[in-house]
Structures are given as C-alpha cells and as structure tokens.
Amino acid sequence: MGPQGVGKGTQAALLSTHYGIPAISTGDIFRYNLKNHTPLGVKAQAYIDRGELVPDELTNSIVRDRLAKDDAAGGWILDGYPRNASQVDALDSMLKGLGTPLDKVVALHADRDVLLARMSRRAKVEGRSDDTPDAIARRLDTYERETAPLLDVYRDRGQLVSVDGSGDVDSISKTIIGLLG
C-alpha cells in the first residue's frame, strides 16, 4: 500500500520474483481490460466516461476472481488494493472464503514532492495519460483521505510493515524482504 508514485508496482514485481508468487495489480488488470475492450473493460469504461470511479463491487469481483486462480494458491502480492474501508471488508471476506490468511501489509511512504517528481517522469517515459499534474494531485489527495487511514486497521491487527519508499529501489526491496522474514 502507499500513495501513487511511491514504487508499489516496482516493489511488487521484485517481491513477486523473490518469493515466486504473482503480483496482482488492480490498475494493470483494469488497463488491460480497457485496452482490449473486454466485457470488464467495457463495464469499467462506462463509469470512467461519466467521470465516475469504478464501483467497489466491480473491483472486488476482479480481485476475488484473480485470487481464486491456481497460481495464487501459494501466495500473492496485491498492488493497489484495498483502497478504502469497504474494500478491506471485502478482502477479509474473500480471504476467509478462500481459506487464505493475510500475512503482512507493506506500506511504502515518501514525501509528496518525491511522488510528484516520480509521476511526472513516469508520464513522460511511459506516456501515461492519467499522470497529468491535476490528476496526480487528485489521486494523492484521495489516497490521503480514503486509503491512508486503512494503515491504522492493519497496524492494529499487527500486520503492518512500514518502509520509506524514497530511496534506492534495491535497498527498499532488501529492507522489505528483511522485515517480512
């Protein structure tokens, strides 16, 4: 977990390789489905075209389906989910139904100016149309309002591992692996 631009996707990929388990990114799943005009993509696009967020029930459904796949039976890393309290409840329910415990939640953090600079670079390098200055600011504000408070839930459960995400990529990865054991 962490704000946009903190390196969640990068670290998820490195941890996925290290532990030999899939990294599951809701953003990647949505982008794939939008690009390929799948039924899920068409559903999501209708909300996006109206300037609305994709509803939790649709997001929860894609996560539930993905966690139930065979390659996730031995473990997984979620990137970008849960993002709000409703999704925490949905994830708890999914995991109970799958008989799969949640071991740890890794929270990456960095100063806002670091995040803004990273996302501006990402927009140029990757051509991400969703990384405009206004969109970036809105997403960071939404993270602070809706997602950051979830860290307290996982801290209270004893599942939170908090790591500074503003350093060197490999050092951050080694720190996370060391804390996960």
Q: Of 160, 49, 47, 69, which is closest to residue 108 (Cα–Cα)?
A: 160
Catalytic residue numbers? 8, 83, 122, 128, 139
CB under 8 Å to 59, separation ≥6 — which residues? 26, 81, 87
Beta strands in the chain (DSSP E): 23-25, 77-79, 105-109, 160-164
Burial 47-60 (b: 16+ CB within 10 A, else e): eeeeeeebebeebb
Cα separation, 162 vs 123, in Å, equals: 27
Furthest C-alpha separation in the chain:
45
Q: CA dihedral in degrees (143, 31, 29, 103; nearest 10)?
A: -30
Other Cβ atoms less than 10 A from the Cβ of 28: the count is 14
Supply the DSSP symbol for 144.
Answer: I
